[in-house]
Amino acid sequence: MSDKYTKLEQHASYGIGLQMGQQLADNPFDGLDIDAVAAGVIAAFSEKTPEVSDEQIRDAFKVISERMQAEQAEKAVLLADAGEAFLAENAKRAEITVTESGLQYEVLVAADGEKPSRDSTVRTHYHGTLIDGTVFDSSYQRGEPAEFPVSGVIAGWTEALQLMSPGAKLRLYIPHELAYGERGAGNAIAPFSALIFDVELLAIL
């Protein structure tokens, strides 16, 4: 750690700047100028006239917001098309079962016995990726299984869990309509993303 900031107030101040920076890094736009951001922060604490007018700021916000919305819409179309193409090709595999809803799955480990209902609570291990293999969540990596109500998860999971008995393990291929749809989920899962999950049902609670 640096010895540059030694006072408690400096630590808190640095933390504020770090949080602002993280927020900007999570939602950047092309051309983001960190020096200009810092100048704006300094101007807000001074009594000097800002170097950029309110009108210029409003116009810039409007143009950049419209630009980002257009980029997000274009990305959403590409993701939806990529997901549909992937699932159409995947459905041709002999080991894949496609349900009426469009959910696809393959059995990795079969098991017989009681199956959960929508009203059940279950304990599972899972590993979730995008169709390009990017991992966005994994109870296996955390080393701790997850417990939740069957009806409290995405539709693809709710459907699949009711097909499983404890000890079973499925690989799910979930179209965006049965996942997070047009909303996405944070920065990890963009809107209209098809998802892949390995799901192991450990117990019905």
- Residue ranges of domains in the chain: 8-75, 81-204
Active site annotation includes 61: no
The average confidence (pLDDT) of the chain is 94
Q: What is the mean pLDDT of residues 180-196?
A: 93
Active site annotation includes 45: no
Strand partners, 200: 125, 169
**pLDDT tens by residue, 39-73:** 998 888 888 888 999 999 999 999 999 999 899 88
Q: Is the pLDDT of residue 1 over 90?
A: no
Given the residues 96, 137, 148, 198, the one annotated as active site? 137
> 81-204 sits in which CATH class?
alpha beta
Given the residues 105, 173, 180, 192, the one annotated as active site? 180
Rounded to an integer, what distance in angstroms lies between the CA atom of residue 50 and that of residue 45? Answer: 11
The single residue listed with the structure tokens 């296996």 is 140
Active site annotation includes 137: yes
Phi, psi at residue 14, to the nearest 5°?
A: -65, -40
**pLDDT tens by residue, 78-130:** 999 999 999 999 999 999 999 999 999 999 999 999 999 999 999 999 999 99
Q: Is the pLDDT of residue 3 over 80?
A: no
Between β-strands 169-174 and 135-138, what pairing exists: parallel, antiparallel or unpaired? unpaired
Active site annotation includes 180: yes
> Coil, strand or helix: which one is 35?
helix
Rounded to an integer, what distance in angstroms lies between the CA atom of residue 74 and that of residue 66? Answer: 12
Given the residues 131, 136, 148, 198, the one annotated as active site? 136
Q: Which residues, other chains included, contact 40 with Cβ-Cβ below 8 Å and sequence gap of 6+?
A: 50, 52
Report residue 94 CA to chain centroid gap.
Answer: 30
**pLDDT tens by residue, 132-175:** 999 999 999 999 999 999 999 999 999 999 999 999 999 999 99
Rounded to an integer, what distance in angstroms lies between the CA atom of residue 32 and that of residue 108? Answer: 46
